[in-house]
Structure formats: structure tokens, C-alpha cells
Amino acid sequence: MSGVKLSQLVKRYGDLEVVKAIDLEVQPHEFVVLVGPSGCGKSTTLRMIAGLEEISGGEVTIGDRVVNRVAPKDRDVAMVFQNYALYPHLNVADNIAFGLRIRKTPKDQVQKMVAEVAEILGLTPYLDRRPADLSGGQRQRVAMGRAIVRHPLVFLFDEPLSNLDAKLRSQMRAEIKRLHKRLDVTSIYVTHDQVEAMTLADRIVVMNDGAIEQVGTPMELFLNPVNTFVAGFIGSPPMNQIRAEISGSSNAPVAKIGDQLLPLPASADVADRMGADVTVGIRPEHAEVHSLGTSPLNVELELVETLGSEALLHTKLADTPFIIKTETEEHFSTLDQVSAFSVNPHQIKVFDIDTGRVLGQAGA
């Protein structure tokens, strides 16, 4: 099993740099998800690993081989495409076997391998069907079957679930996860959907504007985003970000939001910015409305969005939209009377107002 290493990888289209010298090491067996808004360079990065896009600078290493000048077919990687790229004129079995036949695998072996893969993916009853006669989820599975059957060193996924409806998407998410557990092949997965990233990844790589913003496990990214971009991208709904002024004293700093005061965790970075503006980040999940702690903040409730076990309270805090996520159980009847929340100071993030970088956090 091999890992994948990107060093100072660059993609340029004329003067436009769409991937800006990124470094990344994917460990063998690891499932890494590249996530970011569209146009952030994640797909281009994946396509450079696949060999579908020429590399403008830097190196891609698969295993211990630099593959910059290796044709896609010789890189021993397999890719699942967004639109599946299933050949409409071939049935499921022939679609799965396409790559094996091109590589002149002996006939009986092809049959055995196809049957095996069909078994794993639950496609055995559909082997004679054409793609047009399959459901979205089945097509998705055929596309994966085509990748699996070749036993590649690395799987590449390019937004494979974006053509499915929400329900199928979560089903297929679980299936991909199971598959990875079973096959244990190094996988690189591109998506713009942070929920997919959170649920699938061993590690997530958040990209923006051609550069990597942060690499970490899903929970690291959720709890300790290094900047406002990651904070705003990971989590659903994303972290609330409010402009505030630091005041109080260096060992008991507070954020002044409008005319309300919010105690902050003490740190040297925060103390340095006494009197200056910062961005305060509070996760919707961390705002507590049922048993208010010390120094609660008053909010103006505008709308309650009920999701079932949870509800989203759309409020205004000092004229800035502020979303609170809370449980509905036992409290449902009183939700429309919420007028304040409190938050544990240790769950508050403080970001530099200009650079967006987190303040007072080790390693930041």
C-alpha cells in the first residue's frame, strides 16, 4: 500500500495560479478529503494526482515514485467521476470489465474479478443491465466497481455523490465508508460538501483560493479552526462570527458586543489587542439557552426553524444575525420565548479582524 505526497505542487493556466504550491502527505490506508468552495483548486489537485492535468510545478509522489511524467494508466490509481462516466453502450459487467479488457487480462480472470466486485457492491442482479436502466445509486456503485476491480494503489473520488438526492447521498456516504474499511486502500476524495468531509474523512484538507487553509481530523477542524474561513466552512450551520471590541483586563478580557459584555478566555494574543476590534466566533451548538450561565447575552429572536430533535433559532445579536442550535426535547414550548444565551468562555474563538487567524491558540 502506498501513500501520496504532494510537494510544492503548482497548477498555472497562463498567468493564473489555481493551485499555489501546496504540500500534503497522505498516509497509506488513509482516507483524506479535500474540501472547499468551487474554484478552490481541489479538483485540479486531484486531477494532477490522477495525471489528467499537467503539473506546472512541484512533484506528485505515489508510493516512492515521482509520477509527474507517468501516464495516468501507469500510475496505478483509479478514479470515480462526478458524472460516473459509465459507457451507455455497455452493460454493467462490461463497464466494470472495461479497464481489465483494455489491459488484456485473461478472460476467465476478468469474469471472476467482475463477479467478485459485483458481489461486494450488491450489483450481481444487475450485471446485464445498461446504465440507462439503473437508478442513481446503482450507477454510482457501478462507477465504484470500475475503480475497485483494478485493485489500484490509490482511489480518487471527484465529487462522486453530488448527482444524488439527499437521502441517497447519506446512504452512499455510509457505503463508501464501509468499503474503505473493507478494502483499506488509500483514498483521496474531493467534495464541496463539508458534511461529506466530516463523515468520511480520517483527515480533512480545507482548501481555499488554491491554497490549503488547514489540515486535520474532522473534530480538530470543528473545535479548533485556525481561521475564520475554516470556521465558516466547517459545521452546519457554520460558526457565528461577530465583530467585537476587546476590553476588561489582560487576565480577565471581555468582548464588547454592542453594549453587552462577553467574557473571553485569557491569552497573551488577546491581551495585546486591548481596545482593538476582533472577530468573535461562537458555534451555534455552544450557545446555551436553557440554563443560562454567568453573563448571558441578550438576543432578539426572529425565527424558530424546527428540524425535529433540534431547532435553529435565528436571532440578532447587536444587529448581527446569530444562529443558535438547541435541542427541542422538553423545551420545545418555550423556544419562542428565548431572549438570551450564555456560552462557556473556553468554547469561544477569537480571530484577528484583518487576517482572520485565530488568537491565543497553540500552534495557530
Partner 1 sequence: MMNWNLYSRGDKFFAIVVSVLVGMFTAATLYPFIYIAAVSFSSGFAAQAGKVVLTPIDSTLEAYKYILIQPEFWLSYRNTFIYTIGGTIMSLLFIIPGAYALSRPQLYGRRFLNLFVAFTMWFNAGLIPFYLNMRDLNLLDSMFGIIIGFAVNAFNIILLRNFFESIPESFEEAARMDGANDFQVLWKVFIPLSKPAIATITLFCIVARWNGFFWAMVLLSSEEKIPLQVFLRHTISNLSDDDEFAMTQLEAAYSAETVTAAIIVCSIIPVLLVYPWIQKYFEKGILLGGVKE
**C-alpha cell belonging to residue 205:** 484538507
Please, what is the minimum distance in Å from the beta carbon of residue 36 to partner 1?
20
Q: If binding is defined by CB under 8 A, does position 81 make contact with partner 1?
A: yes
* Smaller CB separation from partner 1, 89 or 290: 89
Across 231-309, where does the E strand assignment appear? 240-249, 252-257, 260-263, 277-282, 297-298, 300-306
Q: What is the DSSP letter of 10?
A: E
Please, what is the minimum distance in Å from the beta carbon of residue 326 to partner 1?
43
Q: If binding is defined by CB under 8 A, does position 110 make contact with partner 1?
A: no
Q: If binding is defined by CB under 8 A, does position 146 make contact with partner 1?
A: yes
Cα gap 48→44, rounded to integer Å: 6
Q: If binding is defined by CB under 8 A, does position 65 make contact with partner 1?
A: no
Q: If binding is defined by CB under 8 A, does position 98 make contact with partner 1?
A: yes
Cα gap 256→254, rounded to integer Å: 6
Q: If binding is defined by CB under 8 A, does position 87 make contact with partner 1?
A: yes
Please, what is the minimum distance in Å from the beta carbon of residue 121 to partner 1?
17
- Pick the stretch among 46-54, 122-130, 239-247, 331-339 that binds partner 1 (CB under 8 A): 46-54
* Count of chain residues binding partner 1 (CB under 8 A): 24
- Binding-site member from 3, 51, 284, 360 for partner 1 (CB under 8 A): 51
* Smaller CB separation from partner 1, 45 or 194: 45
Cα gap 82→43, rounded to integer Å: 11
Q: If binding is defined by CB under 8 A, does position 85 make contact with partner 1?
A: yes
* Smaller CB separation from partner 1, 56 or 247: 56
- Binding-site member from 40, 77, 201, 282 for partner 1 (CB under 8 A): 77
- Binding-site member from 28, 57, 58, 72 for partner 1 (CB under 8 A): 72
Distances (CA, A) of 182 to 2, 93, 151, 240: 17, 22, 13, 38
Q: Are 277 and 244 in contact (CB under 8 A)?
A: yes
48 SS3 class: helix
Q: If binding is defined by CB under 8 A, does position 52 make contact with partner 1?
A: yes
Is residue 14 classed exposed, middle or buried when 0-12, 13-18 and 19+ CB atoms within 10 A define those classes? exposed
Distances (CA, A) of 179 to 174, 185, 268: 9, 9, 46
Q: Are 156 and 46 in contact (CB under 8 A)?
A: yes
Q: If binding is defined by CB under 8 A, does position 83 make contact with partner 1?
A: yes
Cα gap 59→195, rounded to integer Å: 30
Q: 123, 116, 152, 158: which is closest to 137 by C-alpha?
A: 123
Please, what is the minimum distance in Å from the beta carbon of residue 237 to partner 1?
33
Site string for partner 1, 260-299 (x = CB under 8 A): ----------------------------------------
Q: If binding is defined by CB under 8 A, does position 111 make contact with partner 1?
A: no
* Smaller CB separation from partner 1, 21 or 90: 90
131 SS3 class: helix
Q: What is the dihedral of CA 224, 229, 231, 235, to 10 degrees?
A: -120
* Smaller CB separation from partner 1, 41 or 360: 41
- Pick the stretch among 33-41, 79-87, 233-241, 352-360 that binds partner 1 (CB under 8 A): 79-87
Length of the chain: 364
Cα gap 32→200, rounded to integer Å: 8
Q: If binding is defined by CB under 8 A, does position 99 make contact with partner 1?
A: yes
- Binding-site member from 78, 92, 212, 244 for partner 1 (CB under 8 A): 78
Q: If binding is defined by CB under 8 A, does position 124 make contact with partner 1?
A: no
Binding site for partner 1 (CB under 8 A): 50-52, 71-73, 77-79, 81-85, 87-90, 98-99, 102-103, 146, 150
